[in-house]
Amino acid sequence: MTPESNDVRIAPVPADLRREALELVFADLPDEERDEQVALALARAEGNDAPLQRLFWARAGKQMLGAALAQIQPGRAGAVWLPRLAPGASPATAHALMAAACGWLESQGAVLAQSLLATVRAADRNVLEAAGFTHLAELLYLVAPSDQYPEQPPAGMLQLRPAGRVGYERLVAVVEGTYTATRDCAGLDGVRHIDDVMAGYRAAGCSGADEWYLVQCGGEDVGCLILADHPRQGNLELVYMGVLPGWRGRGWGVEIARWAQWRARRLGRDRLVLAVDAANGPALAAYAAAGLAAWDRRSAYLRTFGS
């Protein structure tokens, strides 16, 4: 028998039930990915990184009815793994779990929360919309294996200057300038301060700002390339690239992507990976011309907190 809604309690999961709750949260993932996510979340909890995440469960007595996970990421961004319910649990339980997750993120100072879904069910959409989330973008995940890398540095019009040589503030000004009239997840533009955005970039991978570049043409600043190294996975991630509005339309996206591949070759990485808004036609064309192909897709939903 399903418990009545007034018998359901929402609370942080006790330590001895974390694995069970996480296996429920990640139940929709393929086995290998689910095991990886469970292990990562457990390591965070057991490593006294409690401010990074909060795992909630819905219970009636000692019966687990559902679970949800909220995570704080650098740059005042939050991530929510949608509530997943035990068989027979009421849909209202999912709404209560989602409210708890979002309330915790807001209390931790998050400016926004995102949720990524491989498949959007009607019930999931209802929970997201009731919690104030809107559809942000369809994200395509692209990859270029090492056999697509150029054997020499791109011999085009562009030059890359490491951020450490040109100055951080100069690079930040260019990055912010490239957001003007962006076609990549435009709903994120202006939601966070640029310092928060850069903090998020810095936290990707393990290379910090070592693989950040100012893109120049004839000595003039025209764009940027932000990379993040993931040596354990054998990946170099293209976190962000952009061209300033006055320099667009010259086909430079392909050349910048080829520079990213060149850096992947120099670092000995097996793959160059990235995520891109499926509605960003120019970027998709540039990436395809550089030999990147789609391997996965996610629906991204966004909620903002405060003003």
In this structure, the answer to whether residues 104 and 203 fall within a common structural domain is no
CA atoms in the 13 A half-sphere facing the CB of 40: 11
- What pTM was estimated for this model as a whole? 0.92
Pick the more confident residue, 7 or 39.
39
Residue 46 Cα distances to 14, 16, 43, 54, 186, angstroms: 12, 11, 5, 12, 37
Residue 267 Cα distances to 125, 158, 208, 229, 251, angstroms: 41, 21, 15, 9, 26
> For residue 260, is it within any domain?
yes
Among candidate residues 79, 56, 81, the one with its CA nearest the CA of residue 66: 56
In this structure, the answer to whether residues 123 and 176 fall within a common structural domain is no
In this structure, the answer to whether residues 11 and 122 fall within a common structural domain is yes
pLDDT given at position 185: 86
> Residue 268: left if φ>0, alpha if ψ -120 to 50, beta else—which one?
left
pLDDT given at position 2: 46
Band of pLDDT at residue 222, cut at 50, 70 and 90: very high
Cα separation, 213 vs 158, whole angstroms? 12
> For residue 29, is it within any domain?
yes
pLDDT given at position 5: 52
In this structure, the answer to whether residues 262 and 172 fall within a common structural domain is yes
- Beta strand 271-277 with 293-304 is unpaired
Give Cβ neighbours of residue 265 (< 8 Å, ≥ 6 apart): 146, 149, 150, 151
Q: For the chain, what is the radius of gyration of the CA atoms?
A: 21
- Rounded percentage of the chain residues whose pLDDT exceeds 70: 96
Band of pLDDT at residue 306, cut at 50, 70 and 90: confident
CATH number at residue 231: 3.40.630.30
Kindly write down the DSSP assignment for every residue of 168-185, as one continuous string. Answer: HHHHHHHHHHHTTT--SS
CB-based contact 120:91 (threshold 8 Å): no
Band of pLDDT at residue 186, cut at 50, 70 and 90: confident
> For residue 65, is it within any domain?
yes
Pick the more confident residue, 4 or 145.
145
> What is the mean pLDDT of the segment spanning 130-140?
97
Question: How is the beta sheet containing 293-304 ordered, strand by strand?
Answer: 9-12, 53-60, 63-73, 77-85, 112-117, 293-304, 134-145, 271-277, 235-243, 220-230, 212-217, 158-162
In this structure, the answer to whether residues 75 and 20 fall within a common structural domain is yes
In this structure, the answer to whether residues 128 and 158 fall within a common structural domain is no
Domain boundary among 108, 132, 156: 132
β partners of residue 240: 226
In this structure, the answer to whether residues 106 and 175 fall within a common structural domain is no
Cα separation, 264 vs 228, whole angstroms? 10
Domain boundary among 85, 110, 132: 132
> What is the mean pLDDT of the segment spanning 113-132?
95
Residue 15: which domain range?
5-132
> For residue 137, is it within any domain?
no
Among candidate residues 252, 302, 307, the one with its CA nearest the CA of residue 277: 302
In this structure, the answer to whether residues 150 and 279 fall within a common structural domain is yes
Domain boundary among 75, 106, 132: 132
Task: Please state the domain count of the chain.
Answer: 2
Indicate the residue type of 159: Q
> What is the mean pLDDT of the segment spanning 171-196?
91
In this structure, the answer to whether residues 106 and 153 fall within a common structural domain is no
In this structure, the answer to whether residues 127 and 156 fall within a common structural domain is no
In this structure, the answer to whether residues 107 and 147 fall within a common structural domain is no
> What is the mean pLDDT of the segment spanning 1-12?
70
- Rounded percentage of the chain residues whose pLDDT exceeds 90: 85
> For residue 108, is it within any domain?
yes
pLDDT given at position 33: 87
Q: What is the pLDDT of residues 38-93, one digit of tens each?
A: 998 888 887 665 558 999 999 998 899 999 999 999 999 999 999 999 999 999 99
Q: What is the pLDDT of residues 247-304, one digit of tens each?
A: 999 999 999 999 999 999 999 999 999 999 999 999 999 999 999 999 999 999 999 9
> For residue 306, is it within any domain?
no
In this structure, the answer to whether residues 179 and 117 fall within a common structural domain is no
Q: What is the pLDDT of residues 103-122, one digit of tens each?
A: 999 999 999 999 999 999 99
CA atoms 206, 244, 306, 94: torsion sign: negative
With a cut of 60, say whether residue 4 has pLDDT above it.
no
Q: Tell me the two tokens of residue 132.
A: 């104030």
